[in-house]
Amino acid sequence: MSKRKSKDKSLPLGECISQVQTILRKRFFQQNQQGKRFGVESQHKHLVELLKRTVIHGESNSALIIGPRGSGKSMLLNDALEELVEIKQIEENVLRVQLNGLLQINDRIALKEITRQLHLENVVGERVFGSFAENLAFLLEALKKGDRTSSCPVLFILDEFDLFAHHKNQTLLYNLFDISQSAQTPVAVIGLTCRLDVMELLEKRVKSRFSHRQIHLLNSFNFSQYLNIFEEQLSLPPEFPDVQFAETWNTNIQCLKGNKTVEDVLRKQFNLTKDVRSLHMLLLLAISGINVPHPHLSSTDFLEASRLRSMDSKANLMHGLSVLEMCLVIAMKHLQDIYDGEPFNFQMVHNEFQKFIQRKAHSVYNFEKPVVMKAFEHLHQLELIKPMEGLSVRTQKEYRLMKLLLDHDQISEALQKYPNCPTDVRQWAISSLN
């Protein structure tokens, strides 16, 4: 009887929703979750075999993982390393050095970071902060003294690899690749980059010491597989506390997978980017709307999530402008139409605004010039307008040429949603936008 009760255990609806939020959010943000390798099985196998040859057999290697941002380069490498850790005695016997081209902007900084991560500060002593040549000579000597049978393997991971190619003389890359070709300390050099032309950046002497192994990630799955990813990422696991709620939830997800509206949203996202992280952001926005009155996802949730994802930030920014600032934007657009996109200055905008006031004969819009200038400067701070490049800063601010960073559609959309927009201003806008 107790077994049956535990099997049929039911939780309050609010508790179930809280559990769903926790499980799915953890799944979306977790980097190395099981089953996250989509369409990169062969690349994963290749990388694991390459690392095994270094870690187990003491064979030095070098390789590049190449793919667009968000294609899973770091995930692939971390997943391969996790698999290696499961093999006995590997976790303790491998030294890992992680470098990033955005942080280690020259070879001197990179060398200090290598020394720190290999825990050689106490050995080197004061010379850690000595000349680059001395530190490099010490590091190379330490690595070259070993042999492939007794030395601890060293794994160098170079994130943003293409930035290391811009270092002076590419000294660090040359020496790392040179060691990886030797039969001394086993070394694996793995570079991660999003540039397909990265080999063209390498000097001839560096290129000659590179193994030319390249692992490409291109997110090769089709839309049918993308729908399966969608279902897998939203489905609740069998161990969910409330079995009945989990079954209802998973059945609903299966129905949504075949829903035409949801399919259109997902196809739009798929055509925009195959990046699974972007899909996670879309799903995260969708599940944010579930609550006790609305415990299950619907097609409306995905439509709203898609709208939020594709929302124009500048058009949204305009919703918070004052009526005066909105009038100045309309005046600028009117000037651009009259002068065929030529830049304008504050005096021209102010004159255009004065024409509107005189034509409508409403003293309510008759602001003092310093007030109008303050509104104009606020638009500049919001980056809705910007000064033209190459102009002298000595030019009076009233006559400094500016450019409008909004187009016709953005202004029209902002006016449609602008709260309590005066009729006169709306009519003026329509006359200048048409």
**pLDDT tens sequence across 239-261:** 888 889 999 999 999 999 989 99
SS3 at position 163 = helix
Task: Name the token pair of 200.
Answer: 């063209």
Q: What is the dihedral of CA 362, 363, 364, 367, to 10 degrees?
A: 130
Mean pLDDT (the chain, rounded): 82
Spell out the residues 6+ positions from residue 230 whose beta carbon is closer than 8 angstroms to its own: 257, 266, 279, 283
Domain ranges of the chain: 2-29+221-309, 41-216, 315-433
Distance CA 428, CA 421 (A): 11
Local confidence band at 415 (pLDDT 50, 70, 90 cut-offs)? confident
pLDDT recorded at residue 274: 79
pLDDT recorded at residue 250: 92
Q: State how far the alpha carbon of 216 is from the alpha carbons of 20, 51, 72, 143, in Å.
A: 35, 17, 10, 30
What pTM was computed for the model?
0.61
Q: What's the mean pLDDT in 180-203?
A: 86
pLDDT tops 90 at residue 278? no
pLDDT recorded at residue 102: 92
Local confidence band at 5 (pLDDT 50, 70, 90 cut-offs)? very low
Task: Name the token pair of 297.
Answer: 């996802």
- Which residues share a beta bridge with 193? 66
Distance CA 81, CA 84 (A): 5
Distance CA 265, CA 2 (A): 45
pLDDT tops 70 at residue 92? no
CATH architecture for the domain at 41-216: 3-Layer(aba) Sandwich (3.40)
pLDDT tops 50 at residue 34? no
pLDDT tops 90 at residue 7? no
Provide the percentage of residues in the chain whose pLDDT is more than 90. Answer: 19
Distance CA 31, CA 28 (A): 8
- Overall CATH class of domain 315-433: mainly alpha
pLDDT recorded at residue 164: 92
SS3 at position 274 = coil
Query: Burial code of 172-204, b = ≥16 C-beta within 10 A, e = fewer?
Result: bbbbbbbbbeeebbbbbbbbbbbbeebeebbee
Distance CA 249, CA 261 (A): 19
Greatest mean pLDDT range, 10-14, 311-315, 344-348, 364-368: 344-348
Distance CA 166, CA 170 (A): 7
| Weakest mean pLDDT among 178-187, 333-342, 367-376, 387-396 | 387-396
Q: What's the mean pLDDT in 195-222?
A: 87
Q: What's the mean pLDDT in 208-218?
A: 88
213's enclosing H/E stretch is: none
Local confidence band at 111 (pLDDT 50, 70, 90 cut-offs)? confident
Local confidence band at 162 (pLDDT 50, 70, 90 cut-offs)? very high
pLDDT recorded at residue 346: 92
pLDDT recorded at residue 4: 45
SS3 at position 433 = helix
Q: What's the mean pLDDT in 128-133?
A: 56
The DSSP result for 216-237, as a single string, is E------HHHHHHHHHHHHSPP
Which pairing describes strands 187-193 and 385-387: parallel, antiparallel, or unpaired?
unpaired
pLDDT tops 80 at residue 123? no
